[in-house]
């Protein structure tokens, strides 16, 4: 306290001048419209710039929460896609404009579960991702996994809170897909060379294929809903020894920076698998 009084005493003249200056300026800005307007403009500009910097800093620290909110919103929107619903007979008509989500649960085929990627590889012959969601959070093996831009892979191993996903960039990974324009079916696989491209085989030469064509998931897949983005045709490799094209496809998913994915739960998978296994046993 004594130091405060000593400081005031030592700088009394300067402090007294500041007080008088502030009082004079307050009178000037209060009773002179021109100076008041000029002061308000300057103060508004200064305050706005300070708030802009503050909001920028606050936004940076809120990015994680913002990303999580966006992922949850994308999950909710995925659930509303028409291809997630499948009626048990072809005579039933699904009208998306009027159907309620609750009433549609009886024909819901695909459900989406968001998950964060905690590790991934792209430089190996057998590439995997690890996601922070396990059987305690409804994940099981043989579930498809998609990202914001397209398919990612398939769940192959699950612990309580984590799961490993066989990536599209895996030598043993295969999935049936189709061309968007003609609907011709083929099989996507990876040759183990460049992580920027995968190979689409078994497309007949009768198909009208051009560079830039879109490749989508097929409706016969038990892993993915129909019409999920897979990639685009980058090059057409002619093969005179067969009646099929070999297409070089650029995946729509960027495996180098993927952070969030959606695990696709086929609600009818177990029923379909039991029926197919039972049929194979009877045929044998």
Rounded average pLDDT over 60-88: 60
Does some domain include residue 83?
A: no
Q: Are residues 114 and 183 in the same domain?
A: yes
Chosen domain end from 42, 61, 80: 61
Domain final residue pick, 35, 61, 87: 61
Lowest mean pLDDT of 52-56, 115-119, 244-248, name the range.
Answer: 52-56
Domain stop point among 24, 44, 61: 61
Question: Helix, strand, coil: what percent of the chain each, to 5?
Answer: 35, 30, 35
Quote the number of domains for the chain.
2
pLDDT, position 110? 82
Rounded to the nearest angstrom, the gap between the alpha carbon of residue 264 and the centroid of all alpha carbons in its chain is: 13
| CATH at 182 | 2.40.10.340
Burial of residue 107 (CB within 10 Å: 0-12, 13-18, 19+) is middle
Of the pLDDT bands very low, low, confident and very high (cuts 50, 70, 90), residue 3 is confident
Is position 102 within any domain?
A: no
Say what the pLDDT of residue 65 is. Answer: 63
What's the DSSP call for residue 158? Answer: E
Is residue 121 domain-shared with residue 249, that is, in the same domain? yes
- Residues 55 and 124 grouped into a single domain: no
Claim to verify: residue 33 and residue 173 sit in the same structural domain:
no
119 and 229 fall within a common domain: yes
Contact 94, 82 (CB under 8 A): yes
Instruction: Say whether pLDDT at 78 is over 70.
Output: no
Best mean pLDDT range from 47-51, 61-65, 174-178, 240-244: 174-178
- Per the CB < 8 A criterion, the answer to whether 163 and 134 are in contact is yes
Q: Note whether 57 and 131 are same-domain residues.
A: no
The pLDDT value recorded for residue 245 is 87
Residues 13 and 130 in one domain: no
| Cβ(30)–Cβ(22) below 8 Å | no
Indicate whether 141 and 223 sit together in one domain.
Answer: yes
| Whether residue 271 sits in one domain with residue 152 | yes
Same domain assignment for residues 13 and 126: no
Q: So what's the pLDDT on residue 21?
A: 78
Q: Which residue has the higher pLDDT, 221 or 77?
A: 221
In a domain, 81, yes or no: no
Per-residue confidence band for 145, with pLDDT thresholds at 50, 70 and 90: very high
d(CA 182, CA 213): 10
Full-model pTM: 0.64
**Domain encompassing residue 159:** 110-283
Residue 82 resides in a domain: no
Cα angle 109-111-115, degrees, rounded to a multiple of 5: 155
104: in domain: no
Please report whether residue 69 resides in a domain.
Answer: no
Whether residue 202 is contained in a domain is answered as: yes
CA dist., res. 129 & res. 138, Å (int) = 18
| Residue 70 within any structural domain of the chain | no
Average pLDDT of the segment spanning 135-142? 89
Q: In which element (H, E) is residue 12 found?
A: helix 12-31
| Averaged pLDDT score across all residues of the chain | 78
């Amino acid at each position: 306290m004594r130091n405060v009084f000593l400081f005031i005493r030592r700088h009394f003249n300067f402090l007294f001048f500041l007080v008088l200056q502030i009082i004079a300026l307050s009178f000037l800005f209060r009773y002179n419209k021109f100076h008041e307007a000029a002061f308000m403009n300057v103060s508004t500009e200064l305050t706005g710039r300070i708030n802009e910097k503050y909001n920028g800093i606050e936004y940076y620290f809120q990015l994680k929460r913002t990303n999580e909110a966006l992922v949850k919103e994308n999950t909710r929107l995925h659930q509303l896609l028409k291809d997630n619903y499948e009626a048990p007979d072809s005579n039933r008509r699904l009208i998306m404009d009027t159907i309620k989500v609750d009433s549609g649960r009886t024909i819901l085929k695909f459900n989406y579960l968001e998950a964060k990627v905690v590790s991934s590889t792209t430089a190996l012959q057998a590439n995997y991702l690890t996601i922070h969601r396990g059987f305690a959070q409804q994940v099981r093996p043989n579930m498809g996994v998609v990202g914001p831009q397209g398919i990612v892979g398939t769940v192959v191993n699950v612990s309580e809170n984590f799961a490993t996903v066989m990536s599209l960039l895996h030598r043993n990974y295969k999935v049936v897909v189709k061309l968007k324009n003609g609907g011709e079916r083929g099989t996507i696989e990876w040759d183990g060379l460049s992580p920027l491209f995968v190979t689409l085989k078994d497309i007949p030469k009768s198909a009208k294929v051009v560079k830039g064509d879109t490749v989508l998931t097929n409706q016969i897949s038990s892993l993915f809903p129909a019409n999920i983005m897979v990639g685009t045709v980058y090059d057409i490799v002619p093969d005179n020894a067969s009646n099929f094209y070999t297409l070089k496809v650029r995946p729509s998913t960027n495996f180098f920076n993927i952070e969030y994915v959606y695990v696709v739960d086929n609600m009818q998978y177990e029923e379909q698998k039991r029926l197919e296994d039972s049929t194979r046993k009877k045929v044998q």
